Amino acid sequence: QVQLIESGGGLVQVGGSLRLACVASGRTLNPISMAWFRQPPGKEREFVAGVSWLRGATGHADSVKGRFAVSKDNANSTMYLQMNNLKPEDTALYFCAAMSGATTTQSMRARRLYNYWGQGTQVTVNS
């Protein structure tokens, strides 16, 4: 079994920054592709950003491009999400997800591909 543990969420003012981390432990997935999803209050879970095993390709949702950046530290099995210039609409529960295999910058956006999920970390942006 693979465990994913997110950290780094919190309360921040508009324009502020946060850095989320997701550590994968347990059974090693190789290859592994990972992604961040978020679920705003009363809404569906949506793709935020992802990192493919294949050449480390990354993808970001249009709503966060230029403000968020996903990265992955393979040595520590950790994925990060640097979030800058946060807006109230970024308020959500942020989830880490993982799957065995490679994704493309398109396919990584599909929730159904991921079979491992973390418990989520709350991000709240105050206006």
Phi, psi of 7 (to 5 degrees): -155, 165
Q: Between residues 69 and 31, which one has the greater pLDDT?
A: 69
pLDDT in tens, 50-78: 999 878 899 999 999 999 999 998 787 89
Q: Between residues 85 and 1, which one has the greater pLDDT?
A: 85
Instruction: State both tokens at 51.
Output: 């990192």
* Residues 22 and 37 sit within 8 Å (Cβ to Cβ): no
Residue-level length of the chain: 127
pLDDT over threshold 90, residue 29: no
pLDDT in tens, 68-119: 999 998 787 899 999 999 999 999 999 999 998 888 989 999 999 999 999 9
Residue linked to tokens 């592994």: 32
Residues 58, 68: Cα–Cα separation, whole Å? 12
pLDDT of residue 32: 85
